[in-house]
Amino acid sequence: MDWSEVLTAGGFFESATTFWLTLCIVLLILEVFTSGFFLGALAVSAALAAGIAALGWSNETQVIGFSVVSIASLIWARPLFMSAFGPEDLPTNAEKLVGATGTVTHQVPVGGIGRVRLTNEDWRATASEQLEIGQAVKVVKVEGNTLDVRRA
Give the CATH number, domain containing residue 113: 2.40.50.140
pLDDT tens, residue order, the chain (152 aa): 565 665 666 667 788 889 999 999 999 999 999 877 889 889 999 999 999 999 999 989 999 999 999 999 889 888 887 777 766 666 667 778 899 999 999 999 998 999 999 988 999 999 999 999 999 999 999 988 899 999 98
Number of domains in the chain: 2
- pLDDT for 3: 59
Looking at the structure, tell me whether residues 68 and 101 fall in a common domain.
no
Burial 81-110 (b: 16+ CB within 10 A, else e): eeeeeeeeeeeeeeeebeebebebeeebee
Query: Where a domain ends, among 85, 104, 134?
Result: 85
Looking at the structure, tell me whether residues 60 and 130 fall in a common domain.
no
Query: Where a domain ends, among 66, 85, 104?
Result: 85
- pLDDT for 10: 62
Looking at the structure, tell me whether residues 69 and 139 fall in a common domain.
no
List the alpha helices (DSSP H) in the chain: 3-7, 16-32, 38-54, 59-72, 78-85
CB 50 within 8 A of CB 59: no
Looking at the structure, tell me whether residues 35 and 104 fall in a common domain.
no
In a domain, 16, yes or no: yes
Query: Where a domain ends, among 61, 85, 109?
Result: 85
- pLDDT for 119: 83
CB 122 within 8 A of CB 95: no
Looking at the structure, tell me whether residues 26 and 77 fall in a common domain.
yes
CB 138 within 8 A of CB 101: yes
In a domain, 90, yes or no: no
What is the pTM for the complete model shown? 0.54
Looking at the structure, tell me whether residues 75 and 18 fall in a common domain.
yes
Q: Give the pairing of strands 101-106 and 136-143.
A: antiparallel
CB 45 within 8 A of CB 33: no
Which residue segment(s) compose the domain that 21 sits in? Answer: 3-85
